[in-house]
Amino acid sequence: MDSAAPRSKRLWLSIELTVLFFAVPAAMTFWRLNPQAVAEAAATLGIEADFLAKPGRFMLPSLMAFTIVCLVYLLRDRSFERKRLWNARAAWRCLPKCTAEFVPLAGLLTLLAWQLTPGSYLLTAAANLGVPPRWLPGMASLFRLPSEKPLLWVMIMVLYPLVSVWPQEVLYRAFFFHRYAALLRTPEARIAASAIAFGFMHILFMNLIAPLLCLIGGVLFAATYERTHSTLAASIQHALYGCWIFTVGLGPYFFGGTVYP
């Protein structure tokens, strides 16, 4: 995308970005918070559909559909370097740096999981400050998933990078960086905007932990993509943190009806 695009083009791209990456997640979050109200409103329009009462089940299919549309767009755009969708050589070179960053941050995630178990100091302090339990629930349990449901844990370790991580990296890194290059003309702007959009999308899970962690993670993944021009590199990094989150006990903050109803 030409960074010297005319003002009208940049205006359209601004509107498009706002709608796709902020308005749509906000609308879906409203739907998740008020499924019965949405179903009743649809019924007044003559739309009777049971699925309107179960919005969580549509999060993963919506992600896949949006990814396919954006992937087709990228593949049809001759100005897009297709090797950015994989670029294994750059991903390989990035592994030492990504691993070195992961080790201390994995320790911090473990500490966070410990403090998000029921009765912890953090949750007690949050309750005293008036933070609604719905938005900061004590749902963590250290290493519960691999110890109590090892088969489910293995399935998540295998499938999560394929059906969730790579599609998200296509959307929030490959597509986002290319499509909105005319708006985001510096690396810092691209990294910040991508991270904010990525974090905001996770309000769908209706707690504070998911969007905050994904905002931080979004900075890491976007910086990796900016540096390597490799969706694979960003996906490997994303998968490392995501799989550890599910392993250490923070998974319930990210389920959102995609694994459990």
For 98-136, what is each residue's pLDDT tens digit? 999 999 999 999 999 999 999 999 999 999 999 888 888
Q: How confident is the model at residue 176 (pLDDT cuts 50, 70, 90)?
A: very high
d(CA 103, CA 24): 35
Task: Tell me if 260 is assigned to some domain.
Answer: no
Tens digits of residue pLDDT in 131-162: 888 888 899 999 999 999 999 999 999 999 99
* Burial of 156: CB neighbours in 10 Å, binned 0-12, 13-18, 19+: buried
Distance set, CA 52 to CA 9, 23, 43, 66, 228 (Å): 35, 19, 10, 19, 41
Which helix (H) or strand (E) covers residue 163, if one does?
none
Task: Tell me if 59 is assigned to some domain.
Answer: yes
> Is the pLDDT at 48 greater than 90, yes or no?
no
Buried residues in 36-55 as b, exposed as e (16+ CB within 10 A): eebbeeeeeeeeeeeebeeb
Q: What contacts 38, CB < 8 A, 6 or more positions away?
A: 30, 31, 52, 55
Within 10 Å of residue 253's Cβ, how many Cβ atoms?
24
Half-sphere exposure (CA, 13 Å, Cβ side) for 208?
Answer: 12
Tens digits of residue pLDDT in 51-84: 777 887 888 889 999 999 999 999 999 999 999 9
Task: Tell me if 261 is assigned to some domain.
Answer: no
Task: Tell me if 2 is assigned to some domain.
Answer: no
Task: Tell me if 31 is assigned to some domain.
Answer: yes
pLDDT of residue 46: 78
Average pLDDT rounded to a whole number, residues 207-227 = 97
d(CA 141, CA 122): 14
**What is the domain extent for residue 96?**
7-255
Task: Tell me if 150 is assigned to some domain.
Answer: yes
In the chain, how many domains are there? 1
Task: Tell me if 48 is assigned to some domain.
Answer: yes
pLDDT of residue 256: 58
pTM comes to 0.92
* Number of helical (H) and strand (E) elements in the chain, helices listed first: 14, 0
Task: Tell me if 209 is assigned to some domain.
Answer: yes
Per the prediction, the chain carries an average pLDDT of 92
d(CA 96, CA 219): 18
Average pLDDT rounded to a whole number, residues 228-251 = 98
pLDDT of residue 1: 52
Q: What are the two backbone dihedrals, phi and then psi, of residue 119, each rounded to the nearest 5 degrees?
A: 85, 5
Q: What are the two backbone dihedrals, phi and then psi, of residue 18, each rounded to the nearest 5 degrees?
A: -60, -45
pLDDT of residue 43: 80
pLDDT of residue 42: 81
